[in-house]
Structure 1
Amino acid sequence: MSQWASMTVLPAEDFARLQADRDAPVSGDRERFDLHPLWYNFHELYRDEPGPLRFIVQGDVAERPIEWCLGVLPDQPEDEGDGTYYALVSPPTVAAIVAAIRAFPPGEVIGRLRKSRPGWVQYKKGRDDFSTAFEGIARAYAVAAAQRAGLTILVC
């Protein structure tokens, strides 16, 4: 995926307003995290998980699946999905994802990648890149959880 992606901390009160009205105003000064270009690979890795990690990239509040917005569904008409994706991660889901990440044994992410996509982490550079990418995602979640906040996810 060549899209740019970011996560932005969303205070709980702003999250509640946005759930009631998608166009509601939100706080202006919010911390944003630009995601590493490998962000989508973590969606592929975790999207079928039974727990909260399935929301790590796609969020738990979205109008459409991320695949539809990015135009990657099979048999999807060419004019559907403009490559833009916007979703929210609720404060409880942020907390659950952080708890799941903290429960990982050291090397769990690379170990999972080795099992499911060995070519991605065959060489040290791949392992380093994926570690850096995951650390960026984990940091966004940790900052939001410390504030008992949610996150917005924007892909362009």
Structure 2
Amino acid sequence: MARNNPYAATFDKLYGLLLQLSVSGQHIQDIMFRMTNKGQSFLPQAWSGFYHFFNKGLYFHYRAQGFVECFLSTESYSPKSIGIWANQLVYPANDSFKQAMLYWDKARYVPNFSSQPEFGELERQLRTFWAIEGQIMVQTNELLGAGAAPVSAAASLAESGQSDSQDGLNQEQALA
């Protein structure tokens, strides 16, 4: 790594955190799989929302991890690419994980569900997961505050030639 680059040390640390989050996420997915395979009789309605949004968050997380691997291997840390990484991958992952937790908060109070043996293990893994996720968010926010100009997801999509249909709908509604 080029240590003269101000971003190199931060991305080394972030990469370690992203790897830890991947391991923690895999443990959670394994528990979720076991609980889902036990049958639908004890799974609350909110389980499918938790399952969906947690996996969606992992999708963005793994992409963010791959992006950091590219940063580290190329030693190319432009403020614009860091902003795109944060706004299109890190923040959407975090938003999806937060959405999953809204469903988890509904599911965890269902008596038949919370009495399952895997429930306690899942709760412990989620606490570990959120501690790591919090550190990633702190590091990301510090990066953006240290000169990596934040780029909105819509602006970076437009620059890349992609479109965000929801953003387009919002713009149409604003014009109407």
TM over 0.5: no
Greater strand percent: which structure?
Answer: 1
Say which structure, 1 or 2, has more relative contact order (CA 8 Å, 6+ apart): 1
Greater helix percent: which structure?
Answer: 2
TM class, shorter-length = 0.3 to 0.5
